[in-house]
Amino acid sequence: MRKKYERPEALKRFGLREEAVTIAVLPGSRRNEVASLLPEMLRACRILTERISPIQFILPIAGTLDPAFVRDILQPFPIRINVVPDEIYDVIAVADAAMVASGTATLETALLETPMVVIYKVSGISYAIGRRVIRVDHISLVNLIAGRTVVPELIQAEANPERIAAEVGQIVTRREKAREMRAALAEIREKLGTPGASQRTAQIACGML
């Protein structure tokens, strides 16, 4: 996992302003996941726009997705959001905070030490079955590895625009909270180390199931 650009170059490449709060929007890499989570994230972006200024949003489109599919979801929302093809690592690195679909992107965000809010939402039946089969205290890889709550997890009904906006808003307006989260993410990065981080992550996560 490696960034291509230094911060000034990334800001210029992505059309972002240095003085504005930057929020990365990471709705996942699968169509059904994106269709479910991206509208909730965009509604949260609208709330954040009303509360924080200046603020800007950036969305990297995963290589597994058709850009037209993502743009169709974006179209009804009156939110200015910079859409870039992939380049997820540089997008995460340049962001002040991220709203992230639960999955491997949470680990990538952690390794880049970017504060985040993790969002998880599936059908009620899938969630009920999953909770019976998998008995863990956390859903995100970040918190599983840490063995404690390092980043907020918004699950099912809690994964609503108001809660997402509130949690992201706290990260970017409360400097101490952001510093504490970055410090905890740095500990996770050190714990995993390099190389072989993914293998160690799988071992840690499996050991907690």
Res 65 pLDDT > 70:
yes
Q: The tokens of 88 are what?
A: 């997820």
pLDDT band at 208 (very low <50, low <70, confident <90, very high): very low
pLDDT band at 56 (very low <50, low <70, confident <90, very high): very high
Q: Say if CB 37 and CB 102 are below 8 A apart.
A: no
Cα separation of 66 and 152, whole Å? 29
Q: What is the pTM of this model?
A: 0.87
| pLDDT of amino acid 196 | 56
Res 201 pLDDT > 70:
no
Sorted by where each starts, the structural domains of the chain and their CATH numbers stand as 7-207 (3.40.50.2000)
Residue whose C-alpha is closest to residue 116's, from 83, 154, 147, 82 = 154
Mean pLDDT of 71-81: 94
Report the amino acid identity of residue 38: L
pLDDT band at 129 (very low <50, low <70, confident <90, very high): very low
pLDDT in tens, 13-52: 999 999 999 999 999 999 999 999 999 999 999 999 999 9
